[in-house]
Amino acid sequence: MTVAAKAKAPLTETAKDWWRGAVIYQIYPRSFQDSNNDGIGDLAGIVQRLPYIASLGVDAIWISPFFTSPMKDYGYDVSDYCDVDPMFGQLSDFDAVIETAHRLGIRVMIDLVLSHTSDQHPWFKESRASRENARADWYVWADPKPDGTPPNNWLSIFGGSAWHWDARREQYYLHNFLVSQPDLNLHSPAVQDALLDVARFWLNRGVDGFRLDTINFYFHDQKLRDNPALPPERRNASIAPSVNPYNHQEHLYDKNRPENLAFLRRLRAVMEPFGAAAVGEVGDAQRGLEIMGQYTRGDDLMQMCYAFEFLSATQPTAARIVEVLNEVDRVAADGWACWAFSNHDVVRHASRWHLSHAAQRMFATLIMCLRGSVCLYQGEELGLPEADVAYEDLRDPYGIEFWPEFKGRDGCRTPMVWEHSNQNGGFTKGTPWLPVAREHLHLAAAHQEDDPGALIHHYRKAVAFRHAHPALMDGSHADLSAKGEVVSFTRTSGGQTIFCAFNVSDRPADLDMPSGDWLPIGEELGGAHASADGKLHLGPWQPWLALKRG
């Protein structure tokens, strides 16, 4: 498939606030494009497909981990922060990603996993060797209780205790995720310095920013206090599936610690001379927006964070959208959100919310009109549904642990489909690491390119519409309202004000015209037309967008 790149100017200098309102395209490299036919996507494959990404009009890419790793958690268990795993290529291939992306006017963000490493990392191998070595305190070690049990009640997101006994040191070590992912001790200044050196390594190599995995997990309570129980009515399965007892605790002491702010300021100081930006993943079911506000407030912390409000299982109603945006105003008015409906950790939203084609178009337009930046996940622009991966084909340890009540994350990680002429969708000529979903083939990118009414063209129009209007890129929002299933608000920047209304239901809806003189815009996005009776008559899943005149 050949796609002409969007005519964007090459990056020649860094604009300080390039990230504000940016549209970021997430690449899961194992599943994007295989260049050597071993069944696994790689960095050379990304280079091959960058013109396609440029054609979408996005500002940046975020590449999930490609560092050296034993792949117990598919790259989120790093054994060398400063090298490329051979399955993805080598450092020269990453340099080609940077050079090609920048030539096409696209910035490059990479996924840094700073809260934990693989147990195969040399740092951990040294740390576990004794209690006296130079890196003895680089991980979170603790003595058992007198009865030999773990030091407290903290739980792992992947199931069971967050503590694992190590016979070498006769101590437990903390792992918020897999046993093979020991948590770093960021209370150690030496650990902080080493991680900041990692950031410098990639910044000097030309990256434009970072996606920071589990940004609120960096620090733990040094007193190792037990987490309190969470009442059933406050439990929320947005971070962990409902069958996981992790939801039974209020996570006050194993994450979300106030000491993190000082480290984030150090990280921002490292990024600042490069004009780099970061988006942090805030994993917390109760306080996600509040933490997002804390971590993005002012000019010396992170530029953006995302919480899980719109990654939840329940399709957002008009009332819920207004509730979330009002809460952001309350707890993060001085910060900056980065919105996403899908990513590599959740069921694709086309399936999660049971969306029709019309609904997918409406939500694509909606996210481009929200105050904040935007992350799109590979294949979202094609309308890919969640793939049904058989148990015998599962790779995700999370899904294997909680099957069948929770099927894990493999269904959103199956290979990208580029063409529909072969069973692997143009992803590889080998055997793909996860099966290509048969139901995805008719949605392949090449097939959609030839169909003017296909979803991919709507995404291009929505991204272009956002870029064409400063109010949508970096403006304020006001007049948030939910009337029935119509959500509406205004966006304003400088002298430009845009009124945005969305019918988030499959039934027609009416809305009173806003006062003032408005010029309807966004007809290419399926926007409604104003009627002579002073009412907006919105069809199912239809927006109305208008520019204030005068």
CA nearest to 117, candidates 58, 65, 43: 65
- Helices (H) then strands (E): counts for the chain: 13, 20
528 & 445 share domain: no
462 & 485 share domain: no
Choose the weakest-confidence range: 3-12, 170-179, 347-356, 374-383. Answer: 3-12
Tokens of 327: 């809460």
Residue given tokens 């003895």 in the structure block: 136
Neighbouring residues of 202: CB distance < 8 A, sequence distance ≥ 6: 82, 110, 112, 210
| Ranges of H-type helices in 338-393 | 349-352, 357-369
- The residues annotated as belonging to the active site are 213, 281
Q: How high does pLDDT run on average in the chain?
A: 95
Number of domains in the chain: 2
- pLDDT tens for each residue of 126-165: 999 999 999 999 999 999 999 999 999 999 999 999 999 9
437 & 365 share domain: yes
458 & 480 share domain: no
pLDDT at 293 over 80: yes
| Position 181 in a domain | no
Cα end-to-end distance, the chain, whole Å: 46
- pLDDT tens for each residue of 327-373: 999 999 999 999 999 999 999 999 999 999 999 999 999 999 999 99
| Position 129 in a domain | no
- pLDDT tens for each residue of 400-445: 898 988 899 999 999 999 998 889 999 999 999 999 999 999 999 9
Q: What is the layout of strands, in order, in the sheet containing 60-63?
A: 304-306, 277-281, 209-212, 107-112, 60-63, 23-27, 373-377, 338-339
Mean pLDDT of 60-88: 98
| Position 164 in a domain | no
pLDDT at 241 over 90: no
How much is the pTM? 0.96
328 & 367 share domain: yes
pLDDT > 90 fraction of the chain, expressed in percent and rounded: 90
Q: DSSP character for 160? A: S
pLDDT at 540 over 80: yes
- CATH number, domain containing residue 196: 3.20.20.80
Domain boundary among 437, 466, 495: 466
- pLDDT tens for each residue of 160-174: 999 999 999 999 999
pLDDT band at 7 (very low <50, low <70, confident <90, very high): low
489 & 454 share domain: no
Q: Quick count: other Cβ atoms within 10 Å of Cβ 518?
A: 19
419 & 530 share domain: no
Asked whether 98 and 205 are in contact (CB, 8 A), the reply is yes
Bridge-based pairing state of the strands 107-112 and 209-212:
parallel
Mean pLDDT of 70-88: 97
Domain boundary among 433, 466, 499: 466
DSSP secondary structure letters along 425-449:
TTS-SS--SSPPPGGGGGG-HHHHH
- CATH number, domain containing residue 535: 2.60.40.1180
Residue 148 backbone class (left: φ over 0; alpha: ψ -120 to 50; beta: rest):
left
537 & 415 share domain: no
436 & 456 share domain: yes
Amino acid occupying residue 344? H
Asked whether 176 and 115 are in contact (CB, 8 A), the reply is yes
Choose the weakest-confidence range: 246-250, 403-407, 446-450, 520-524. Answer: 403-407
Q: How far is CA 316 from CA 289, 459, 463, 487, in A?
A: 16, 20, 21, 11
Which domain range does residue 536 map to?
475-548
- The C-alpha atoms of residue 185 and residue 183 are separated, in whole angstroms, by 7
CA nearest to 541, candidates 364, 358, 365, 315: 358
212 & 110 share domain: yes
Residue given tokens 């903390």 in the structure block: 174
Domain boundary among 438, 466, 494: 466
427 & 500 share domain: no
pLDDT at 14 over 80: no
